[in-house]
């Protein structure tokens, strides 16, 4: 137990501090009831703002993720193209090496075919492997079937090698094959040189265009997305979604291709498609060592579809919650306001006399103590008046209680209208008696004010029957002192009461004054 003893005082102090803080908070809210509504509104707005900032950040995250995904897809497409073209290029090199050896053409057709064409030329989507002579006619073919009537000397791949010895690997534009029932293909070719370096023909691998389309079929860019492969001059090789007669056409005039052609080998941008008006994020990259370009373009609406759905739900919930917080805050504000008004009204009713509207006996006692302390602290005089309606009981018995209440209210109005300072206190002491506290007022000033009250009341006339009027008078006792010289507030009030009885004994309708002997010389004044 001895260990716990020091804890309890600390706990009690903390509890007192907490209660004091709570009381201060309650007073602050009570003094400013609408602060609760404004604060609640501010909290709701801040909460909604943070939610919308978070939602906007989620939008940016969705776009960033789509960009990264598009980059990965472009890299996959480019890697597949680069790998397969490299494989085909090795086969072409082998074909060129074999075709440039004179001994190859002295071999039997079957052996020559085995020397010129390796197993890579049997790969899927490969339309055929050929050795073309200087006249464009097929000299050797992978399958061994040679049609001497078909010439390919007008093809772009043949002409480019015929004109230059340094072309290297060439990827042609799409063409309809004359050797394979007009199937759409592209050609991968290399030049064959004679021993002296002159043009001796072309090694050709025909790649079916379905290879590129099959590659794009694996890519998912969403319902409204797009992906395509083209040559760097804008010739379209494959596209998803594919529309009829697009392959082999040029998209060089497209704003999208124009942007890509004018920028770096890889990048990303957002624009509206001139074909279908859909806003897309275009991510592109050129395949190293080739004239091929891969582009992945998911639609912005597809990218943000999930985010918009989540954001709509979050926005609705945030708005609803914000409205609840704001509503509750303002309901609380109005409730606090109404409570304060009600409490103020209760305090007013508790502090005032219901008939006259003057301060009641309780308020008089409180204000008298305050005035006494203030006067004692500042060394100022303090005066008190006791007022009584003359012959009120007889008047009340003669004319009834209603008329008596009317007289009390009228006298109260006279006293309140005569005592004008805000620091003065006018109270109904009880029945037909009134009391006035006059801070900072010496005996002479109190006597003058009392006389003014007496004359004002005396001027009142009450009519109780046709042709009859009756005057009402009051007797007033006045007492003054300087609280710093000693005594109590009750003694001052008692002195004023004694002067009231002295005024009544002297014949009523007059003022009697008293000053405590230790302050001033005792004297009386009557009217």
Which residues 6+ apart lie within 8 Å of 209 measured at CB? 174, 184, 185, 186, 237, 238, 247
What are the tokens at 57? 């950040």
3 state DSSP class of 508: coil
Check if 210 is active-site: no
Task: Please report the sign of the dihedral spanned by the C-alpha atoms of residue 163, residue 166, residue 169, residue 170.
Answer: negative
Short-list 153, 173, 176, CA closest to 163: 153
Beta strand pairing call for 474-481 and 511-515: parallel
Cis peptide before 215 (omega within 30 of 0): no
Task: Tell me the β-bridge partners of 129.
Answer: 205
Please pick, among 22, 345, 406, 432, the residue that the annotation labels catalytic.
432
List the helix and strand counts (H, then E) for the chain: 13, 18
Q: Cβ distance 117 to 129 under 8 Å?
A: yes
Q: Assign 3-class secondary structure to 74-117.
A: HHHHHHHHHHHHHHHHHHHHHHHHHHHCHHHHHCCHHHHHHHHC
C-alpha span between 419 and 478 (Å, rounded): 14
Looking at 107-194, list the stretches that DSSP marks H as alpha helix, in order from N- to C-terminal side: 109-116, 156-163
- What CA–CA distances, in Å, run from 474 to 390, 438, 457? 5, 19, 7
Which residues 6+ apart lie within 8 Å of 273 measured at CB? 226, 256, 279, 280, 297
C-alpha span between 390 and 513 (Å, rounded): 18
- What CA–CA distances, in Å, run from 501 to 29, 387, 425, 509, 520? 50, 10, 21, 12, 22
Radius of gyration of the CA atoms of the chain, in A: 56
C-alpha span between 361 and 428 (Å, rounded): 7
Q: Which helix (H) or strand (E) covers residue 220, if one does? A: none
The three-point CA angle 386-387-391 to 5° equals 135
Instruction: Kindly list the catalytic residues.
Output: 432
């Amino acid at each position: 137990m001895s260990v716990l003893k020091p804890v309890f005082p600390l706990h009690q102090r903390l509890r007192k501090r907490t209660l004091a803080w709570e009381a201060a908070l309650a007073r602050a809210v009570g003094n400013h009831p609408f602060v609760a509504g404004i604060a609640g509104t501010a909290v709701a707005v801040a909460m909604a703002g943070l939610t919308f900032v978070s939602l906007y950040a989620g939008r940016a995250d969705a776009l960033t993720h789509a960009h990264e995904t598009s980059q990965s897809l472009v890299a996959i497409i480019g890697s597949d193209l680069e790998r397969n073209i490299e494989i085909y290029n090795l086969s072409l090199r082998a074909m060129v090496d074999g075709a440039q050896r004179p001994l190859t053409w002295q071999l039997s057709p079957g052996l020559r075919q085995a020397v010129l064409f390796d197993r890579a030329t049997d790969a899927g989507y490969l339309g055929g492997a050929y050795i073309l002579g200087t006249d464009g006619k097929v000299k050797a073919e992978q399958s061994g079937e040679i049609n001497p009537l078909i010439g390919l000397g007008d093809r772009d791949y043949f002409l480019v090698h015929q004109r230059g010895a340094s072309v290297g690997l060439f990827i042609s534009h799409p063409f309809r094959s004359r050797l394979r029932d007009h199937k759409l293909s592209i050609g991968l070719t290399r030049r064959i040189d004679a021993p002296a370096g002159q043009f001796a023909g072309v090694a050709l691998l025909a790649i079916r265009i379905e290879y590129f389309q099959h590659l794009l079929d694996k890519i998912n860019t969403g319902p409204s997305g797009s992906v395509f492969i083209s040559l760097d001059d804008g010739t379209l090789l494959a596209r998803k979604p594919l529309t009829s007669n697009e392959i082999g056409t040029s998209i060089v005039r497209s704003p999208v291709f124009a942007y890509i052609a004018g920028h770096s080998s890889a990048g990303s941008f957002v624009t509206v498609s001139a074909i279908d008006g859909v806003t897309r994020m275009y991510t592109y990259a050129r395949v190293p060592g080739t004239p091929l370009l891969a582009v992945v373009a998911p639609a912005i609406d597809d990218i943000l579809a999930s985010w918009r759905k989540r954001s709509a739900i979050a926005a609705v919930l945030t708005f609803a919650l914000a409205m609840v917080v704001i509503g509750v805050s303002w309901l609380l504000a109005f409730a606090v306001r109404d409570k304060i008004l009600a409490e103020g009204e209760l305090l007013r009713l508790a502090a005032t006399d219901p008939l006259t509207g003057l301060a009641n006996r309780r308020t008089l006692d409180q204000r008298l103590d305050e005035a006494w302390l203030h006067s004692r602290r500042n060394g100022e005089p303090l005066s008190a008046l006791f007022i009584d309606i003359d012959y009120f009981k007889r008047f009340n018995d003669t004319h009834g209680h209603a008329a008596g209440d009317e007289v009390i209210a009228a006298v109260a109005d006279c006293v309140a209208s005569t005592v004008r300072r805000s620091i003065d206190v006018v109270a109904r002491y009880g029945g037909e008696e009134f009391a006035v506290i006059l801070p900072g007022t010496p005996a002479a000033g109190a006597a003058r004010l009392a006389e003014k009250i007496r004359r004002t009341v005396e001027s009142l006339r009450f009519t109780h029957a046709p042709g009859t009027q009756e005057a009402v008078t009051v007797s007033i006792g006045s007492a003054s002192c300087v609280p710093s010289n000693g005594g109590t507030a009750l003694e001052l009030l008692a002195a004023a009461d004694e002067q009231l009885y002295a005024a009544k004994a002297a014949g009523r309708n007059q003022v009697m004054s008293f000053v405590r002997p230790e302050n001033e010389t005792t004297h009386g004044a009557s009217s």
